[in-house]
Amino acid sequence: MHSGGGLQAGISFLYEASRLNSSDLPLLHVIVSSEIYAGLAQMGANTAVFGRYEVIDTFGLEGLYSKLNNRIKEYELVFTIFGPNYLRVKAKKEIVGFAQLWILNFNNPISEKMSFFSKNVLRLKFLIQWLFFLRADHYVVELEHVKKGLIQSKGVDAEKVSIVYNTVSSLYLDESKWKTICIEKGNEKISLGIVTRDYPHKNIGILPAVGQILESKHNLKVHFYTTLNELEWSARDEFFKKYVSTVGSLSPDQCPSFYQQIDGVVFPSLLECFSATPLEAMVMAKPLFASDRGFVRDVCAEYAVYFDPLDANDIALKIANYFKTNFNNTEKLDRARNHALNFSSAKSRAEKYLEIIQQQVKG
């Protein structure tokens, strides 16, 4: 894992695992990307508790030629936190984290807008991914709707799927580990942000239209802050850049500082298995404006302001109504924070992952 929410989840899991008082830790050989290695080092993780800890970088199908193919047979079990596992050689038993909703729901608002050629190239990509996923002996998903999708859409045996809720990293609860960044703001009244890559399903292309409507119809000057990298930012046009800025890619320990400096979080995603962004927003006591979709409601309940992610007018209206009427919202934000903290914990997630590993080894 090299970027995105999966990167943060991987760092969080291994950090929490390293702190557990478990006799199994010396039996685990942990292989990480350079980005995971850097994140764990920044958090001061004691990786010496693992039987082996090393960095091996692969990207997608490069795994077919990885040196790991020569070693994989020596293991009783391999756990890939988020798959698919692209190694050419299959281990005796494999557990794979499944978080690719495109495989379960290809016909969605994003694919409907694609050209015939682009749509079918993408369809082929996910078909290949699913062929690799099929090698798994057990799947780990993050919410009930994903398990249901695997069972109904792909015919996966329910006994082969475990649910482990995602969560915010324990990093968010320890301010001493936060790394400060500085957001250069303009003269806007309200700043909204999202920690994201520029994936089509994140739907951030709608943000400039929302900003324009807020300014023209609601007399609110709102600016959006993102974490797009240089390549993603350079591909955006001037209209986008009028209402949206980027602070660049952030490391996990910089994200709390990002949230501290904005007035709220906007999450217009169209398709997710799970995203930690809504939970992070609530833990940081920021108002959350989010897509009215099951993958958000399942996590946030009544603690988000919901909108139609395909309707810029509706998004703008919900944002405007909130900031024009919610002058004293501390109590509600505190309740949202408590809800997020009680949803799951980084420690319990690590314990459940290790429990599944133990069960599969014995089974």
Domain architecture of the chain: domains with CATH: 4-172+344-362 (3.40.50), 173-343 (3.40.50.2000)
Q: What is the DSSP letter of 169?
A: -
Q: Kindly tell me if the per-residue pLDDT of 326 is higher than 80.
A: no
- Does residue 155 register a pLDDT over 90? yes
Which comes out higher in pLDDT, residue 96 or 68? 96
How much of the chain, in percent, has pLDDT values that exceed 70?
99
Scan for tokens 């790394």, then name that residue: 179
pTM for this prediction: 0.81
> How confident is the model at residue 24, as a pLDDT?
86
DSSP secondary structure, 308-347, as one string: -TT-HHHHHHHHHHHHHH-S--HHHHHHHHHHHHHH--HH
Query: Which pair of tokens denotes residue 128?
Result: 């290949």
> pLDDT category, 273, cuts 50, 70, 90?
confident
pLDDT exceeds 80 at position 4: no
Q: What is the mean pLDDT of residues 96-117?
A: 91
Burial class (CB in 10 A: 0-12, 13-18, 19+), 77: middle
pLDDT score of 327: 62
Strands 190-193 and 161-163: unpaired
Kindly calculate the radius of gyration of the chain based on its CA atoms and give it in whole angstroms.
Answer: 21
The number of CA neighbours under 13 Å toward the Cβ of 326 is: 17
Per-residue pLDDT at 7: 87
Span 307-322, pLDDT tens digits: 999 999 999 999 999 9
The pLDDT score that the predictor gives to residue 344 is 86
Q: Would you state the pLDDT for residue 83?
A: 92
Four-CA torsion 135, 138, 141, 145, nearest 10 degrees? 90
Q: Which two tokens stand for residue 318?
A: 């919900």
> Across the chain, what does the average pLDDT equal?
93
The answer to whether 310 and 278 are in contact (CB under 8 A) is no
CA distances from 218 to 161, 286, 308, 318 (A): 47, 21, 18, 11
Chain segment 15-59, per-residue pLDDT in tens: 999 999 888 899 999 999 999 999 999 888 999 999 999 999 989
Q: How far apart are CA 99 and CA 242, in angstroms?
A: 33
User: In terms of C-beta density within 10 A (0-12 exposed, 13-18 middle, 19 or more buried), how is residue 127 classed?
Assistant: exposed
**168 vs 267: which has the higher pLDDT:** 267
Q: What integer pLDDT is reported at residue 21 of this predicted model?
A: 86
Q: Is 305:295 a contact under the CB 8 Å cutoff?
A: no
Q: Is the pLDDT of residue 306 over 90?
A: yes
